[in-house]
A and B are shown apart, each in its own frame.
Chain A
Amino acid sequence: MPEIFIDGKRYEFEEGEDRGLLQFILDNGKEVPFFCYHPSMSAPANCRQCYVKVGTPVKNRETGEYELDENGEREIRWFPKMQTSCTTQMQDGMVVHTQETSEEVARAQKDTMELILINHPLDCPICDQAGECPLQIQTYKYGPEGSRFEVKKQHKPKRIQLGPRVTLDAERCINCTRCVRFTDEISESHQLTIVARGDKNYPMAAPGREFDDPYSMNTVDICPVGALTSTDFRFKARVWEMNQTPSIDITNGKGTNIDLWTRDNLVMRITPRFNGEVNDHWMPDAGRDAYQRFNENRLSRPAIKLDGDNQSKTSWNNAIETFAETLESHGPEDVLVVGSPHASVEENYALMKVFNLWGVNNFKFAPHIEEGTGDGFLITDDQAPNTSGVKLLGYEESNDLASEVKNTKIVIMLSDELIDRGVLSKDDLKGKFSILLSTNECDTAKTADLVIPVTCIAEHAASYVNVEGRIQRSFPAKETKYTNRSLDLEMNQGRLDRFGTNFDNWVTEENKVDCAPAWEIMNQLANRMGLDVSFGRGREIMEEIAGSNPAFENVSYERMDNEMGINLNPSNKQEATA
């Protein structure tokens, strides 16, 4: 196997290996500073930050043997200049010195950084990127102590609306061209270019054109400085005040892996999380708006219709009692349970199990597909995150839910805005007793006779099966009235969470929604109705499903975490890639 010596240590690499030297160094847990290189895009080597010293062993032309020096060591022929490691192809016997073992390299990196910083405003205190800024971090680690540049800095335009969602501060731009390459190579909208030249250049759309690429905000993530910022998130929160919790995009069926960034139990922003099998480093802009659903217009405390169409809030006990009484005054044959492609596997399972035990056998769901909205990349026609999951659990797909509803007396609906999305009309539910377990205010919730607020994906650990049959799970990011970060091991704690108290002005009790996971509501209902069933947490429910439903064989949270999701349908996958 070919070998390479980096800072005096021997590594082996595969023959024909085409990842560059920089990626190899990073993959081996070492570090070389860099800005313009991105593993999913071409490497133009324009930031010049990733300099290393590289040499190759000298071979005797006749014998093909390595030439040795007087100490018996291989003689090395050094490249006359430093090389950008991002574009250096590895060769057998190559010898590399990074800043760790070469003063010269450390000096070269420091000088490059000094040049990059010449016109940089260094307004970190008001810069959104601060705290997660490669320029800031690497300047601390490898940069010069100060600048020898004593004249006025070049000024460039600030606060330019490149498009509806991205704002540019051209002074902070280091012209790495990552954003331009993103629109050329990944989203292929070709909307950005670098204009002008020298110290006056910055990225821009063509005159009169907007940067309205449906993936535009990925450029904010990959911009190594605070030049491209999210118009929506700008100045809203400092990075170090937030918690980062892994989750899944619920705005379509792709199952894009994301991170939810929370502060004081509000989701402040959503960013993509790397998953090479699903979304690589990217996500559509639309998925980032979902945070509003998690924070705003939440159903909090159960509500019930008492007189006519007026709903009023009620206690949890009363809600469960009404639920049970309504069921008991009818028979199982009068009940239709509408599962939801918008809710998790565990929620759908818990509903099905309880009502099945009580004797119901009418389980339907309405797919939420909008033909033609998909783009073959990360946006799917399917508008729901778990259509495959509900199907696999045995809910029957219905394209005419209205007539199903007609033949029944009690409609139990899980997290699906059926009226809002035109599957049912208000009239369809007239004369029925409708019960909705859901997360957000909507017309469907206004129409229901009993509304029970349930946790959203940001508040529970639960799984979702994407259009390709891959099951992936969420973690709780936001506390509800009944959960507590310090007690729940699945939850992260940020600085503010750890040190804030109810008497501080950065902790707000109101941000915690009065809701509970659907399975806990099913627990209470089953208990009240004397059914022999009880659910633990999402993790245990999944174990139960794995043990009883062959489609979910061997699925567990542990495996999902270790393997970044599990493909439930391997043959499907092969078709997709073939």
Chain B
Amino acid sequence: MEETYEFTKEDLDEIEAIKAKFPEVMPATLPTLWVAQRRFGHVEPPVQRLVAETLGLPESHVHGVATFYTQYYKERKGKYVLDVCTTTSCQLCGGYKMLHYLEDKLGIKAGETTEDGLFSIQSVECLGACGYAPMMQITNDVYVNNLTEEKLDKVIDSLKDGKMPEFESVGMPLLENINNK
């Protein structure tokens, strides 16, 4: 039997508020999928269907939107989803090396989840932090920049302890510093 999903009263209120922001229902698809993912931890097909029903939109449309973005989990993921960027800048600075290091360390391949359900790895496209390459993002949240193997070891350890890494602020290099070099 397929699990059934239902939004809570608060979710529905929030969805109504989202809908009110747009002249049409369609643009509410993205934020409503977020509400769903936050509630259920994923947007598997039955959840996509719930979103479609709630918004009165075609199921196919919601499915198309959900599959467009890696940030929506179309299947259950581990507690921590490690999105390692492998687009150009990160790739040149060792993105794949970082990805493969993580894969070996956790014993899974990109796209898979560890047996204890703690970690999933995904290889993703540019996250817009090319200046800090190579980088990754954890569960659509904190960015971890300038990755090295040691840094990954530390991050994994702290995640195992249930601690998300701190947000690292990386300042823009000052113009005069660049000119002086």
Please give the residue numbers on chain A whose beta carbons come within 8 Å of chain B beta carbons, in ascending order.
Answer: 183, 190-197, 204-209
Contact = CB atoms under 8 A, between A and B. Distances in A.
Interface string B58-79: 1111111001100000000000
Given A190-B60, A207-B63, A209-B59, A196 B45 contact: no
B48 interface: yes
A313 B61 CA distance: 58
Given A192-B60, A193-B60, A193-B61, A206 B45 contact: yes
A140 B9 CA distance: 59
A190 B45 contact: no
B60 A196 contact: no
Interface size class, chain B: 10 to 19
B49 interface: yes
B50 to A, nearest CB: 12
Nearest to A209: B59
15 contacts: A183-B60, A190-B58, A191-B60, A193-B58, A193-B61, A195-B63, A195-B64, A195-B67, A204-B64, A206-B63, A207-B45, A207-B48, A207-B63, A209-B59, A209-B60
B48 A206 contact: yes
Nearest to A200: B67
Nearest to B59: A206
A291 to B, nearest CB: 30
Rank and list the top 9 A-B pairs by shortest CB-CB distance, nearest first.
A193-B64, A190-B58, A206-B59, A207-B45, A193-B60, A195-B67, A206-B63, A206-B60, A197-B68
Contacts of B62: 206
Contacts of A205: 60
Contacts of A194: 64
A208 B45 contact: yes
Contacts, number: 40
Given A206-B58, A206-B60, 13 more contacts: A183-B60, A190-B61, A191-B58, A192-B60, A193-B63, A195-B67, A195-B68, A196-B67, A204-B60, A205-B60, A206-B49, A206-B52, A207-B45
Nearest to A198: B125
A196 B63 contact: no
A473 B163 CA distance: 77
Q: Which residue among A183, A192, A206, A208 has the maximum number of chain B CB atoms within 10 Å of its CB?
A: A206
B34 to A, nearest CB: 18
Contacts of B64: 193-195, 204
Interface in B62-114: 62-64, 67-68
B47 to A, nearest CB: 11
Given A196-B68, A197-B68, A204 B63 contact: yes
A207 B64 CA distance: 10
A85 to B, nearest CB: 27
B122 to A, nearest CB: 14
A104 to B, nearest CB: 29
Contacts of A183: 60
